[in-house]
Amino acid sequence: MEQDLPPVLSLDIGGTKLAAGVVTGDGRIHGWQVTPTRREEGPRQVLARLFDLGRKAVADAGEPEVAAVGISCGGPLDTATGVLGCPPHLPGWIDVPVGALAAEAFGVPSALENDATAAALGEFRYGAGRGTRTMLYLTVSTGVGGGSVIGGRLHRGAAGNGGELGHVMVRPGGRRCTCGRHGCLEAYASGTAIAERAREALATGRPSSLAAVGNPTAEDVSRAVESGDGLAREIWDETTWALGTAITDLVNVFEPELVVLGGGVTRSGALLLDPVAVAVARDAMPPAARTARIVLAELGAGVCVVGAGAVAHDLLSGKTPGKTPHA
Amino acid sequence: MEQDLPPVLSLDIGGTKLAAGVVTGDGRIHGWQVTPTRREEGPRQVLARLFDLGRKAVADAGEPEVAAVGISCGGPLDTATGVLGCPPHLPGWIDVPVGALAAEAFGVPSALENDATAAALGEFRYGAGRGTRTMLYLTVSTGVGGGSVIGGRLHRGAAGNGGELGHVMVRPGGRRCTCGRHGCLEAYASGTAIAERAREALATGRPSSLAAVGNPTAEDVSRAVESGDGLAREIWDETTWALGTAITDLVNVFEPELVVLGGGVTRSGALLLDPVAVAVARDAMPPAARTARIVLAELGAGVCVVGAGAVAHDLLSGKTPGKTPHA
């Protein structure tokens, strides 16, 4: 059935990269394009380049036309009006009507969606979540975000951001989070937080193979764990503890069939997944713990583009709000 | 529309009390009955008395017949099969097919539901949640439980218990919870936990007006707060801190329009509600915090009976699973 859905154009607005592709009803990306965001150029120029990138994707995909445009971007944003609020990854972009502009540019209806929420729908429909009804998706990346599918439908929440799964408290009074609260999951498990904690530990003069790296990233930390570095192991254990604690909470309150972990930090694979899965199986309430599987995402770097395509398909079937072009 | 729903019988199986009533389409209870559970008699005798209580409710309500039976009980239980697992409040009740037995006893279809989940549906349809689409309900009572309504539908979760909102972590490594984990909301905010912490504080010899009470309850603690007792205030502040922390997490991840607080401990009213609402407004992510209101429940002691009635109505309209009597 999904295979009969028409091709749609997907656009993804990241803090460092813009991406575009045509997504067909089977969830495949055609004519995939990527270019630097150069957000300092401001919304007018960046969006002009984004729409050009979209046109190039349509041309390269060999599709004469697309039926809708789906756009994924970090929030806050308003899915009903298609207006981007003032997302922290795009400083100075204030109340930009991305949805309406895209609808005008391509002459088809458009839907704007929170990137993590779009990714959750992508994994649900075409990735690790296929065949489930209730699924959580967490992206562990520069920040920690996520989305939920409940009873087969994307949950947007009354505030329209679909749930901030990265802002579950794991340590009251702990590290300051980007949201202003102290001790959220994001303040421990994001790639940014892993790198920060490594820097802080090295600054105390403790010996570690990471000292030779200069400014270690989360990836450097995971590599050092694998080569037996003690300091890296401590940072990693705290990371998986934070994820295990927060996901136990989420499993208790949502009782999902599946929790999908995606985002750059999960490229560490079993090193991240295994301790988290063990903690949830041990700590969650027994019926919820027996039911929920914890797995890695399947869609990789294209997840937001595939997800925005799924959002555009939902727009065509009336499941999601959007903007239509003027006649 | 709801008003056209036929009368249904509601049964509630508590650890100390059984209740029954006929619930009409407007959410009113008729022929309300209550009797002690005497759980030590075992399931066969207790259920016989419960069904007699149901027949008395039907007779007293002046309803010639009911179209379905809804039963609320503490879990774990299986809503699909109507089988009660081994609920902690009914020791020795193992795999009792309550749904099938009720369907046979009354000759109509039956639905068994987790009591907190049923209460969430009751408040959603007839209480504080009327007119909302996405609502959380927490009962702060002997334990802390709850349920969620998402997009206008009761969320049961893949494990069928509808979400354990009392088992959000608020203090890692903190007080041991009934679920076996340390530091859950329930371990700080339940009536049982409030009373325990009062006893522990008194045992250290600290002066307090509660020392004269003997074995103070949560209600004694809230009264002592109102009369200016310092020790009671400390316990109360920790209680509202725990609720504020956990509800901030829940508001972040669900983005509800409304959070409804019910259960015995909420009889303390503004003393409980106000500091919790302030904490959530301050600490939740801004879009979610702006959207979510925190209010007290409206249905009082009858909430589970009204909720089980709403579950029975959902059974009749095919929205919920149930057991049918043999022909």
Contacts of B160 (CB under 8 A, 6+ apart): A255, A287, B77, B78, B79, B80, B114
Best probe of the B interface among A86, A169, A241, A294, by most B CBs < 10 A, is: A169
Neighbours of B237 (CB within 10 A): 12
Task: Tell me the β-bridge partners of B136.
Answer: B148, B259
Distance from CA of B312 to the nearest CA of A (A): 20
Q: Rounded to an integer, what distance in angstroms lies between the CA atom of residue A51 and that of residue A64?
A: 16
- Domain-wise residue ranges, chain A: 2-120+302-316, 130-298
Distance from CA of A79 to the nearest CA of B (A): 13
Q: How many CB pairs under 8 A join A and B?
A: 144
Whether B285 contacts A162, CB under 8 Å: no
Q: Is the pLDDT of residue B2 over 80?
A: no
Whether B167 contacts B179, CB under 8 Å: yes
- Structure confidence at residue B3 (pLDDT): 55
Residue of chain B whose alpha carbon sits nearest to that of A245: B169
The fold adopted by the segment(s) B129-298 is: Nucleotidyltransferase; domain 5 (3.30.420)
Instruction: Give CATH superfamily name and number for B2-119+302-316.
Output: ATPase, nucleotide binding domain (3.30.420.40)
* The most confident of A61-70, A82-91, B234-243, by mean pLDDT: B234-243
- Structure confidence at residue B1 (pLDDT): 45
Q: Rounded to an integer, what distance in angstroms lies between the CA atom of residue B199 and that of residue A186?
A: 37
Residue A8: which of A321, A314, A318, A326 has the closest Cα? A314
Specify the amino acid at residue B25: G
Q: Is the pLDDT of residue B287 over 70?
A: yes
Long-range contacts for A58-65 (Cβ within 8 Å, ≥24 apart)? A58/A9, A58/A22, A58/A31, A59/A31, A60/A30, A60/A31, A60/A33, A61/A7, A61/A21, A61/A22, A61/A30, A61/A31, A62/A30, A62/A31, A63/A7, A63/A22, A63/A30, A63/A31, A65/A7, A65/A108
Query: Given A133, A168, A257, which is nearest B253 (Cβ)?
Result: A168
CA–chain centroid gap for B52, Å, is 24
- Structure confidence at residue A1 (pLDDT): 45
Q: Please, what CATH class does the domain formed by A130-298 belong to?
A: alpha beta
Q: Rounded to an integer, what distance in angstroms lies between the CA atom of residue A272 and that of residue A237?
A: 9
Mean pLDDT of the A214-240 span? 97
Q: Rounded to an integer, what distance in angstroms lies between the CA atom of residue B192 and that of residue A193?
A: 38
My answer on whether omega of the bond before B76 falls inside 30° of 0, hence cis, is yes
Q: Rounded to an integer, what distance in angstroms lies between the CA atom of residue A324 and that of residue A110?
A: 6
Distance from CA of A35 to the nearest CA of B (A): 30
pLDDT in tens, A72-122: 998 888 888 999 988 888 888 999 999 999 999 999 999 999 999 999 999
Task: Tell me the β-bridge partners of B84.
Answer: B77, B96
- A3 confidence band (pLDDT: 50, 70, 90): low
Which residues of chain B lie closer than 8 angstroms to A163, CB-CB? Answer: 252-255
Domain A2-120+302-316 has CATH 3.40.190.10: no
- Structure confidence at residue A327 (pLDDT): 52
Q: If you count DSSP H runs as helices and E runs as strands, how many of each does chain A have, helices first?
A: 10, 12
User: Are domains B2-119+302-316 and B129-298 of this chain identical in fold?
Assistant: yes
Residue of chain B whose alpha carbon sits nearest to that of A75: B287
- Strand order in A29-36's β-sheet? A29-36, A17-23, A8-13, A69-73, A110-114
pLDDT in tens, B26-72: 999 999 999 999 999 999 999 999 999 999 999 999 988 999 999 99
